[in-house]
Amino acid sequence: MPDSQALDLQAILDDIYTALSPRRGEGKVADYIPPLARIDPKKFGMAVVTIDGQVASVGDAAEPFSIQSISKVFTLTLAMGKHGENIWRRVGREPSGSAFNSIVQLEQEGGKPRNPFINAGAITISDLILAGHTPREVIGEIVRFMRYLANDEDIAIDPAVARSEAATGFRNSALANFMRSFGRLDHPVEHVLGVYFHHCAIAMSCVQLARAGLFLANAGVTPLSGHTVVSRERAKRINALMLTCGHYDGSGDFAYHVGLPGKSGVGGGILVVAPGKASIAVWSPGLNHNGNSLLGSLALEMLAQRTGWSVFGA
């Protein structure tokens, strides 16, 4: 595997950008969230931040976008910090093999979500983080955590997206009420969903997001400050869940083509971790049939091929 210092990451990103430019606009934007439906589908940004401080970026990498389900990586990190391994009593660790908002599987399994990255699982994680706090306090804590990880105070929630999520999130409301009926939520549904909708509405650029994910590439330590965010073991376990569950029912395909832990969002973003090397973020709003960024996935496959980065081979 080539050393990151020996790679010309900027040249690699420039090549990827040029190769994919004719295809910008492919895929289908998430039109069920009105503010996302208005995003220019031809937007494309990508950033790589290495653990030794290199930053390479291309296209719209400095433009904030709605990170949506990518935020679930960070709420899981917070929940594990508060509750440790006890969270697995409430949510599983297995790939779902079903759509990210499926109710059928939830009913079959007694209201326990299959993993923390499908919607029902992330709603459960929001419930866990709420313990002893108001929704406003928890939402503030999540935003502060993101700012801390990225070392950037400009990160914020997009209020228009948060309002739209609350106004149109009928399926998520159904999932939450369904889990409540099984006794799987400790807090009022409206409080849990308030936290969930707001953390999904966080807006970040590719550069900010790649910086925020660095601790997962560096054994739990953020190189920006030298502070330990999680233990080495916990970082490995979060990466494992990203690899197996981070792209919903497209996780196996992503692992096959890219070979790195990743988490997607319907805003068109993907966060990827190259352990020991770098954190990568890509944004292209057009989605494939699994709800993952179409060109973002292709760009990451090209990056993995050019760098040799993979968890499956040295």
Residue 97 near residue 117, CB atoms below 8 Å: no
Verify whether residue 148 is a known catalytic residue.
no
Q: What is the pLDDT of residue 6?
A: 73
Overall average pLDDT of the 240-269 stretch:
96
Q: Which of 96, 189, 196, 273 is catalytic?
A: 196
Q: What is the pLDDT of residue 5?
A: 57
Q: What is the pLDDT of residue 99?
A: 66
Q: Is 172 annotated as a binding residue?
A: yes
Q: What is the reported pTM? A: 0.96
Q: Is 137 annotated as a binding residue?
A: no
Q: Is 148 annotated as a binding residue?
A: no
State how beta strands 156-157 and 55-59 pair: unpaired
Q: What is the pLDDT of residue 2?
A: 53
Q: Is 177 annotated as a binding residue?
A: no
- The pLDDT tens digits for 103-133 are 888 888 889 999 999 999 999 999 999 999 9
- Topology of 69-200 in CATH? Beta-lactamase (3.40.710)
Q: Is 181 annotated as a binding residue?
A: no
Q: What is the pLDDT of residue 100?
A: 67
Q: Is 196 annotated as a binding residue?
A: yes
- 195 Cβ contact list (under 8 Å, min separation 6): 126, 129, 130, 135, 138, 139, 142
Q: What is the pLDDT of residue 292?
A: 94
Q: What is the pLDDT of residue 104?
A: 83
Give the integer Cα–Cα distance in Å for 141 and 75. 10
pLDDT higher than threshold 70 for residue 3: no
Q: What is the pLDDT of residue 53?
A: 93
Q: What is the pLDDT of residue 204?
A: 98
Q: Which of 43, 72, 263, 277 is catalytic?
A: 72
- 90 Cβ contact list (under 8 Å, min separation 6): 112, 124, 127, 128, 184
Overall average pLDDT of the 218-231 stretch:
96
What amino acid occupies position 30? A
Q: Which of 29, 266, 273, 282 is catalytic?
A: 266
Q: Which of 126, 195, 248, 279 is catalytic?
A: 248
pLDDT higher than threshold 70 for residue 4: no
Q: What is the pLDDT of residue 105?
A: 83
- The pLDDT tens digits for 23-47 are 999 999 999 899 999 999 999 999 9
Verify whether residue 69 is a known catalytic residue.
yes
Give the integer Cα–Cα distance in Å for 314 and 291. 30
DSSP 126: H
The three-class DSSP label of residue 101 is coil
Q: Is 69 annotated as a binding residue?
A: yes
Q: What is the pLDDT of residue 37?
A: 94
Domain range list for the chain = 9-68+203-307, 69-200
Overall average pLDDT of the 223-230 stretch:
94
Give the integer Cα–Cα distance in Å for 145 and 74. 8
Q: What is the pLDDT of residue 122?
A: 97
Superfamily of domain 9-68+203-307: DD-peptidase/beta-lactamase superfamily (3.40.710.10)
Verify whether residue 248 is a known catalytic residue.
yes
Verify whether residue 196 is a known catalytic residue.
yes
- The pLDDT tens digits for 139-157 are 999 999 999 999 999 999 9
- The pLDDT tens digits for 47-105 are 999 999 999 999 999 999 999 999 999 999 999 999 999 999 999 999 986 666 678 88
9-68+203-307 and 69-200 have identical folds? yes
- The pLDDT tens digits for 157-206 are 999 999 999 999 999 999 999 999 999 999 999 999 999 999 999 999 99
